[in-house]
Amino acid sequence: MESASLFDNDNSQLKLAYDLILSTNRNLFLTGKAGTGKTTFLRLLKASLPKRMIVVAPTGVAALNAGGVTIHSFFQLSFGPKIPGRYLSDHPDAEGFDPAQRRGFRFSRQKMEIIRNLDLMIIDEISMVRADLLDGVDDVLRRYRDPGRPFGGVQLLMIGDLLQLAPVVTDEDKQILEEYYDGPFFFNSRALQATEYFCIDLQKVYRQKDPFFIDLLNRIRENRLDEIGTEMLLKRYKPGFSPPDKEGYITLTTHNYQAVGINERKLSMLPGNTKVFKAVVSGDFPEYIYPTEPLLQLKIGAQVMFCKNDMGFEKKYYNGKIGIVVGLNDDLVEVRCPGEEETITVGCEIWENIKYEMDEPSGVISEKVIGSFAQVPFKLAWAITIHKSQGLTFEKAVVDAGSAFAFG
């Protein structure tokens, strides 16, 4: 597929990114604020790029959303701090040699062949990837490819926003890593600093259309809020506000227990019987990446959020769309969304957990489904955490950030 068919005239930055990945071996950091098309670009690459690639992400949920695997599972890396150079040398007298780490470093023949034939590695949610983790990936790639080149010569596409989720660094990890790194972020990686990589900062916002609102979000994002913006926000501050039922408001909270408490209380207040939808889990699909509850309790009148995009032709719903349950059948849920006359009837959807394998005669890297999760694609949605709302679109929201625990 030609890249020109993927992008319109307003997408010159995305076309430049596509051509750079397609026609060169240069590394790229693709960034941009929320709603600028980063996730859409990733899907287009997976569908159209002829290069042999894998997609990895720092967490299980991020990997599931990106259609890939976690960094730790693919590269068999531990969750603790990684000292630079620890993995490269086989010699017991080498500095940093750790036999325990080496024993966990045995890859299957299939995994080694995938790494040796890899053209491109896409890392989604790169803002959450620590510098030492990226250097651990570098060590693995050098071990099975070209030891003299950063990342063994594999091209990197790093996608993410540094003003969103940051790496997790405990106090103990910080004490160990600050001897080797200037900071925890991926760009402090020694291997990445040894490369010349391009950076494309996407500017066009597709998620919002109101230019004043977009400018207000940018001012908050960049810590340059002025009096006009502050006054506009204060007009929206309503301490006693109670979201009207059936209007599709969702409350964004800072902690999961707050969201769970609101949802359980609201559900219990509804009349009628509760219907439980039980997920069907098969193969390897670990609990920590479940996209919704395995035992989902719903009632007529419950406010829910779709947690999957409609892959059908009509595209009736998308991940983050809010609706009210108006019908419950054996395996179907009927939902009416605010402002829409027609109801949407939805059955089970399937999420797949994959691993990568390679066809040795052709050298083609393909995805193999190793597990699945089948459930109606809903979450109770009177409330959700700010963390889990990343990348979603809501028409009406109540932001309760009174217990915020991180900058921004």
Listed in sequence order, the residues at least 6 apart from 341 whose beta carbon sits closer than 8 Å to its beta carbon are: none
Beta carbons within 8 Å of 196's beta carbon, 6+ residues apart = 26, 27
pLDDT for position 129 = 95
170-224 residue pLDDT tens = 888 999 998 999 999 999 999 999 999 999 999 887 777 788 888 888 888 888 9
Which tens digits make up the pLDDT trace of 336-376?
998 888 999 999 999 999 999 988 777 789 899 999 999 99
pLDDT tens, position by position, 113-140:
999 999 999 999 999 999 999 999 999 9
pLDDT tens digit sequence for 283-294: 999 998 999 999
CA distance 172 to 72: 20
Domain boundaries, the chain: 3-202, 212-237, 243-399
The SS3 of residue 261 is helix
Does position 22 have pLDDT exceeding 50, yes or no?
yes
Percent of the chain whose pLDDT exceeds 70: 92
For residue 408, the model assigns a pLDDT of 56
Provide the 3-class DSSP secondary structure of residue 200.
strand
Query: CB 119: neighbour CB atoms within 10 A?
Result: 17
Burial (Cβ within 10 Å: 0-12, 13-18, ≥19) of residue 79: exposed
Note the pTM of the prediction, 2 decimals: 0.82
CATH number of this structure's domain 3-202: 3.40.50
